[in-house]
Every structure is written in C-alpha cells, then in structure tokens.
Amino acid sequence: MAQRMPRTPDISVAKCSYSLVLDMISSKWVVLVIYAMEDGPVRYGEFSRRIEGISKKMLTQTLRQLERDGLIERDIHPTVPPAVEYRLTALGESLLPFMRQLKTWAAANLPLVEAARTRFDAQSLAE
Amino acid sequence: MAQRMPRTPDISVAKCSYSLVLDMISSKWVVLVIYAMEDGPVRYGEFSRRIEGISKKMLTQTLRQLERDGLIERDIHPTVPPAVEYRLTALGESLLPFMRQLKTWAAANLPLVEAARTRFDAQSLAE
DNA sequence: GTAAGTAGGAACTTTTAAGTAACCAGTTAG
DNA sequence: CTAACTGGTTACTTAAAAGTTCCTACTTAC
C-alpha cells in the first residue's frame, strides 16, 4: 500500500525534456530541411526545388528557427547574384544518429501502426 | 559536374518516414502520456492527476490516438466504479529506447541550444 | 522593356491544434 | 437531497501553425 500515490502532478510540459526537444523538430518542415543537408551544404533555392510543396515563407521561417537553435549556420557569399549556403553545425549533426534511429524504427514498425489503425477504424465503425 | 541537380523534388512530407513518425508523437501531450506509463499500467484518473494541466478532453483524445496507432491498450475492469487501465503494447514499448536517447541528447545539448538562442536574439536586437 | 533568376520580407487568410465549460450514467457517503 | 467519485462526450472558443499573395533590389538574357 501507499505505493506511488502522487497528490501533486509530477509530469509537466514545461519541464519535460522530451517536449522541449520535440518542440525543436516537430514542425512540419524541420526534419525535411535537416534531411536535405545530411550530405553537405545546401543553398536556399535548392531547398525550394528539392522539398516538395514548401513555400518561401515556410522555408525562411524554418531556416531561421534552426539557425536560432544553433543547429545550422548561414554562409553568405557576396557574389553577383548573392549565394547563401546553409549547413549543419556540430550540434545539428549530433541529431543525425537520433534521426537515423527514427528511420530504422519507422521501417520496422510503421506497417504495424498502419495495421493497428485499420483494425481500430474497422472496429469503431462496427459499433 | 552534373553532380546532384534534382529538377524534381525528391523530399516530401507524405513519404518521409521522419514526418510520419513525428506525426504520431509530436502532439503536445503524447510523450507525457507515454512517459507516465513507463513503469506500468496507469488509470485514467491517475493520468489526470500526474500530468500537469491536461484536460479531460485532451487526455481522452491523446489516449484514443495512441490506442488507434497500436501503442497502448485499454483494459476495462467492470468493477463498481468502473476502472480503466492503460498500458504500453510491445509496439509502444519499442519506442522507449528512442525516447531515452532523446532524453540523453537533451541533457547534453539543451544548454547549448539555450546559449545559441540567447546569442541569436542578442544579435537580432543589435542590428 | 520584360521575364527570370538570386534570397528573402510583410500582410493577410485559412486550417489545425488546443483549451473551456457543461453534461452524461451509475454509485456511495453524508 | 446533494456532493463527489468513476471515465468519459459534446459543443463552442481561442490560439498557434501553415499557406497565399504580393513586394523588394539587383543582374543577366531576350
């Protein structure tokens, strides 16, 4: 008895490190932008072309957020049409192993998730 | 030359497994709910008390989503006040190592992120 | 002169996520 | 009789995220 009876909350959004990290990477475009830089620097226009459906506003906004968090760096080459290159910092690269694990998990388990959803939806309909 | 010149987009939200997995876990309460179940089944009311600020609506919604994705299971005990227990499935538990890695990363790197933000904001103000 | 490329910024609208409040059935305690 | 507990549902409102459109300034090609 008297085993784990928390009268006051012990889990909070503001303190949970899961939430803090997820806030950094969980917006719609962040992972795609990081993914694009996996094997080297990428220019603004190249992101635009490679990432399907991203608007200039969302691209700029996503890049600024990543720069603010210290995950990427901006190199401005003052050439005739100015060229701006973005690349991962050491901090940004330290997220890659974690993203690769995510990918491995997805490959193995997303089909199971799909199946669970189908089951759940079928059952909901039946009731 | 002719090295990596994608004329058509090769990165898309709909296909990227990062995005698909993040969709599952990136809502505000999901990680907190999973976290609460880390060391055993938890009842509805216990979630309410332990997770600071969660409303019944968001709790129910989060639990239903996790159940639909096959990450948790519901056990209804038809006792006098009905008791409903939630626990992680094998699929749900398979996410735990990944979440622990996230926590490790956070412990090591969140201070660096904080510092980067402070620098960035100071510089933005100065310009 | 005009269209297209460079890398954005600002204003505005739409869509989605989240929060609030009231209510339900059933039982027990006062 | 009323309040409180169990585990929710429903309707409505608010706040945040994302999308759309038009604009900048400079250069080159047509």
Residue B78 within any structural domain of the chain: yes
Angle, alpha carbons B2-B7-B13 (nearest 5°): 125
Q: What's the rounded Cα separation, in Å, for the pair A16 and B30?
A: 12
The answer to whether residue A122 sits within a structural domain is no
Angle (CA) A76 A66 B117, round 5°: 100
Nucleic strand C near CB of residue A64 (< 7 Å): yes
- Evaluate if the CB of A81 falls below 7 Å from strand C: yes
Instruction: Return d(Cα B84, Cα A72) in angstroms, integer.
Output: 46
A88 found inside a domain:
yes
Give a yes or no: residue A2 inside a domain. Answer: no
User: Is residue A12 one of the residues assigned to a domain?
Assistant: no
Q: Which residues of B touch A21 (CB under 8 A)?
A: 102, 105-106, 110
Give B65-104 pLDDT, tens digit per residue: 999 999 999 999 988 788 999 999 999 999 999 999 999 9
Lookup result for tokens 């904080």: B114
Q: What is the pLDDT along chain A (127 residues), one digit of tens a residue?
A: 333 344 578 899 988 898 999 999 999 999 999 999 999 999 999 999 999 999 999 999 999 999 999 999 999 998 878 899 999 999 999 999 999 999 999 999 999 999 999 999 998 877 6
The pLDDT score that the predictor gives to residue A14 is 87
Give the span between the Cα atoms of B103 and B10, in whole angstroms. 31
Average pLDDT over residues B30-56: 95
Question: What pLDDT score does A126 carry?
Answer: 78
Q: How far is the CA of B90 from the C1' of C27 (A)?
A: 35
CA atoms within 13 A on the CB side of A68: 15
Q: Is residue A109 part of a domain?
A: no
CATH code, domain carrying A28: 1.10.10.10
Check CB contact under 8 Å for B18 and A102.
yes
Write out which nucleotides of chain D lie closer than 7 A to a protein Cβ: 5-11, 17-22, 26-28
Residue A11 lies in a domain: no
Q: Which residues of A touch B62 (CB under 8 A)?
A: none
Backbone angles phi, psi at B85, to 5 degrees: -110, 140
Domain tally, chain B: 1
Contact B107 A17 (CB under 8 A): yes
Domain that holds residue B66: 17-94
Instruction: Please name the residue whose C-alpha is nearest to the C1' of nucleotide C6.
Output: A81
Residue B9: its pLDDT value, please? 85
**Residue to test with chain B: of A28, A113, A123, most B Cβ within 10 A:** A113
Quick check: is B30 in a domain? yes
Give the DSSP H or E segment for B123.
helix B96-126
